[in-house]
Amino acid sequence: MHGMLPNGPAATRSKGRARGFTLLEVMLATSILAVGTVSVLMVFASALGFANRRQAGAQLTDVLDEARSEARVLVNTWRPASSTSSSKSSAKGRPAPAGTALPYSNDGVVPEKQSTLYDGFRYALRFEAVQRGVPEAGVRTIITVKWGDGLEKQETFTVLPSTIPLEEFSRSITFDEESAGKADVKGGRENR
Protein backbone atom coordinates (compact mmCIF):
# COMPACT_ATOMS: atom_id res chain seq x y z
CA MET A 1 0.00 0.00 0.00
CA HIS A 2 2.87 2.31 0.38
CA GLY A 3 3.49 2.64 -3.34
CA MET A 4 -0.10 3.50 -4.22
CA LEU A 5 -1.41 6.99 -4.64
CA PRO A 6 -4.54 7.89 -2.78
CA ASN A 7 -7.61 8.47 -4.83
CA GLY A 8 -10.41 10.71 -3.82
CA PRO A 9 -11.33 14.36 -3.13
CA ALA A 10 -8.40 15.10 -0.79
CA ALA A 11 -5.86 14.11 -3.40
CA THR A 12 -7.32 16.35 -6.12
CA ARG A 13 -7.54 19.35 -3.81
CA SER A 14 -3.85 19.24 -2.96
CA LYS A 15 -2.95 18.95 -6.62
CA GLY A 16 -5.03 22.08 -7.47
CA ARG A 17 -3.32 24.21 -4.86
CA ALA A 18 0.15 23.30 -6.03
CA ARG A 19 -0.52 24.60 -9.54
CA GLY A 20 -1.46 28.28 -8.82
CA PHE A 21 -0.71 31.30 -6.59
CA THR A 22 -2.93 32.65 -3.90
CA LEU A 23 -4.31 36.16 -4.12
CA LEU A 24 -2.06 37.19 -1.23
CA GLU A 25 1.08 36.02 -3.08
CA VAL A 26 0.09 37.88 -6.25
CA MET A 27 -0.61 41.11 -4.32
CA LEU A 28 2.73 40.87 -2.50
CA ALA A 29 4.68 40.33 -5.75
CA THR A 30 2.84 43.22 -7.43
CA SER A 31 3.61 45.60 -4.55
CA ILE A 32 7.32 44.66 -4.59
CA LEU A 33 7.41 45.24 -8.34
CA ALA A 34 5.65 48.62 -7.93
CA VAL A 35 8.13 49.79 -5.26
CA GLY A 36 11.07 48.80 -7.48
CA THR A 37 9.59 50.56 -10.53
CA VAL A 38 8.90 53.76 -8.58
CA SER A 39 12.46 53.74 -7.20
CA VAL A 40 13.97 53.38 -10.67
CA LEU A 41 11.73 56.17 -12.04
CA MET A 42 12.75 58.47 -9.18
CA VAL A 43 16.45 57.86 -9.93
CA PHE A 44 15.88 58.68 -13.62
CA ALA A 45 13.94 61.85 -12.79
CA SER A 46 16.66 62.99 -10.38
CA ALA A 47 19.40 62.33 -12.96
CA LEU A 48 17.43 64.22 -15.61
CA GLY A 49 17.05 67.19 -13.23
CA PHE A 50 20.79 67.24 -12.54
CA ALA A 51 21.55 67.06 -16.28
CA ASN A 52 19.17 69.97 -17.00
CA ARG A 53 20.75 72.10 -14.27
CA ARG A 54 24.24 71.29 -15.55
CA GLN A 55 23.22 72.20 -19.11
CA ALA A 56 21.63 75.48 -17.96
CA GLY A 57 24.81 76.27 -15.99
CA ALA A 58 26.99 75.64 -19.05
CA GLN A 59 24.72 77.80 -21.20
CA LEU A 60 24.81 80.56 -18.58
CA THR A 61 28.62 80.45 -18.63
CA ASP A 62 28.61 80.76 -22.43
CA VAL A 63 26.20 83.72 -22.34
CA LEU A 64 28.31 85.44 -19.66
CA ASP A 65 31.38 84.95 -21.89
CA GLU A 66 29.45 86.47 -24.81
CA ALA A 67 28.45 89.48 -22.68
CA ARG A 68 32.02 89.92 -21.35
CA SER A 69 33.33 89.90 -24.90
CA GLU A 70 30.84 92.53 -25.99
CA ALA A 71 31.71 94.65 -22.95
CA ARG A 72 35.43 94.50 -23.84
CA VAL A 73 34.70 95.53 -27.43
CA LEU A 74 32.59 98.47 -26.26
CA VAL A 75 35.25 99.60 -23.79
CA ASN A 76 38.03 99.27 -26.37
CA THR A 77 36.16 101.27 -29.03
CA TRP A 78 35.16 103.97 -26.56
CA ARG A 79 36.96 107.31 -26.49
CA PRO A 80 36.48 109.21 -23.23
CA ALA A 81 35.07 112.70 -23.22
CA SER A 82 37.63 115.45 -22.97
CA SER A 83 36.93 118.48 -20.86
CA THR A 84 36.28 120.62 -23.95
CA SER A 85 34.11 118.24 -25.96
CA SER A 86 30.37 118.01 -25.56
CA SER A 87 28.80 114.68 -24.66
CA LYS A 88 26.64 112.87 -27.18
CA SER A 89 24.51 109.75 -26.94
CA SER A 90 25.07 106.90 -29.35
CA ALA A 91 22.55 105.26 -31.59
CA LYS A 92 21.06 101.99 -30.42
CA GLY A 93 23.35 99.00 -30.86
CA ARG A 94 26.53 100.90 -31.79
CA PRO A 95 29.55 101.89 -29.73
CA ALA A 96 29.50 105.41 -28.36
CA PRO A 97 31.13 108.09 -30.46
CA ALA A 98 34.21 109.85 -29.18
CA GLY A 99 33.48 112.16 -26.33
CA THR A 100 30.93 110.21 -24.26
CA ALA A 101 31.36 109.94 -20.52
CA LEU A 102 30.99 106.13 -20.45
CA PRO A 103 31.12 103.37 -23.07
CA TYR A 104 28.02 103.10 -25.27
CA SER A 105 26.36 106.32 -24.05
CA ASN A 106 26.56 108.96 -21.34
CA ASP A 107 24.57 106.87 -18.88
CA GLY A 108 26.60 103.72 -19.70
CA VAL A 109 23.53 101.49 -20.04
CA VAL A 110 23.27 99.02 -22.93
CA PRO A 111 19.66 97.87 -23.37
CA GLU A 112 18.82 94.24 -22.76
CA LYS A 113 19.40 92.05 -25.79
CA GLN A 114 18.87 88.43 -26.84
CA SER A 115 21.91 86.16 -26.67
CA THR A 116 23.16 85.05 -30.06
CA LEU A 117 24.10 81.65 -28.60
CA TYR A 118 20.92 80.38 -26.92
CA ASP A 119 17.24 81.22 -27.14
CA GLY A 120 15.70 82.26 -23.86
CA PHE A 121 18.82 83.99 -22.52
CA ARG A 122 18.95 87.81 -22.45
CA TYR A 123 21.61 90.10 -21.04
CA ALA A 124 22.12 93.78 -20.33
CA LEU A 125 25.33 95.71 -19.70
CA ARG A 126 25.92 98.71 -17.47
CA PHE A 127 29.18 100.63 -17.26
CA GLU A 128 30.41 102.75 -14.35
CA ALA A 129 33.65 104.68 -14.08
CA VAL A 130 36.09 103.14 -11.61
CA GLN A 131 37.63 106.56 -11.08
CA ARG A 132 35.96 109.62 -12.60
CA GLY A 133 38.18 111.43 -15.08
CA VAL A 134 40.75 108.61 -15.24
CA PRO A 135 39.74 106.26 -18.07
CA GLU A 136 42.97 104.27 -17.67
CA ALA A 137 41.68 103.07 -14.30
CA GLY A 138 39.15 100.96 -16.17
CA VAL A 139 35.42 100.68 -16.40
CA ARG A 140 33.35 98.69 -13.92
CA THR A 141 31.00 96.49 -15.94
CA ILE A 142 27.81 94.99 -14.56
CA ILE A 143 26.31 92.15 -16.60
CA THR A 144 22.77 91.00 -15.83
CA VAL A 145 21.70 87.74 -17.49
CA LYS A 146 18.04 86.66 -17.41
CA TRP A 147 16.64 83.29 -18.49
CA GLY A 148 13.78 80.89 -17.84
CA ASP A 149 10.94 81.94 -15.60
CA GLY A 150 12.45 84.99 -13.96
CA LEU A 151 15.89 83.55 -13.17
CA GLU A 152 18.64 86.17 -13.07
CA LYS A 153 22.39 86.29 -12.46
CA GLN A 154 24.49 89.42 -12.08
CA GLU A 155 28.26 89.65 -12.47
CA THR A 156 30.53 92.64 -11.93
CA PHE A 157 34.08 93.00 -13.23
CA THR A 158 36.47 95.74 -14.33
CA VAL A 159 37.54 96.12 -17.94
CA LEU A 160 40.79 97.94 -18.65
CA PRO A 161 41.02 99.54 -22.10
CA SER A 162 43.49 97.48 -24.13
CA THR A 163 43.74 99.68 -27.20
CA ILE A 164 45.99 102.68 -27.64
CA PRO A 165 43.98 105.86 -28.19
CA LEU A 166 44.40 107.31 -31.67
CA GLU A 167 45.76 110.59 -30.30
CA GLU A 168 48.62 108.61 -28.70
CA PHE A 169 49.98 107.94 -32.18
CA SER A 170 50.34 111.63 -32.99
CA ARG A 171 50.92 113.35 -29.64
CA SER A 172 53.02 111.03 -27.48
CA ILE A 173 56.62 111.60 -26.43
CA THR A 174 57.62 108.34 -28.08
CA PHE A 175 56.03 109.43 -31.38
CA ASP A 176 57.83 112.78 -31.27
CA GLU A 177 61.17 111.10 -30.49
CA GLU A 178 60.72 108.50 -33.23
CA SER A 179 59.76 111.22 -35.72
CA ALA A 180 62.90 113.22 -34.86
CA GLY A 181 65.06 110.07 -35.04
CA LYS A 182 66.13 110.34 -31.36
CA ALA A 183 64.50 107.15 -30.04
CA ASP A 184 66.04 103.70 -30.12
CA VAL A 185 63.31 101.96 -32.09
CA LYS A 186 64.60 98.43 -31.37
CA GLY A 187 64.92 98.71 -27.60
CA GLY A 188 62.43 101.41 -26.72
CA ARG A 189 63.03 104.48 -24.58
CA GLU A 190 64.75 102.52 -21.79
CA ASN A 191 67.84 101.75 -23.92
CA ARG A 192 68.84 105.37 -24.63
Domain map (residue ranges) of the chain = 26-77+108-132+139-161, 163-192
- Identify which of 49-53, 92-96, 167-171, 176-180 has the greatest average pLDDT: 49-53
This prediction has a pTM of 0.60
Q: What does the mean pLDDT of the chain come to?
A: 78
Nearest to 166 by CA among 76, 56, 70, 96: 76
3-state DSSP assignment of residue 76: helix
Q: What percent of the chain has pLDDT over 90?
A: 42
β-partners of residue 125 are: 110, 143
- 63: pLDDT strictly greater than 90: yes
pLDDT reported for residue 13: 54
Give the chain's length. Answer: 192
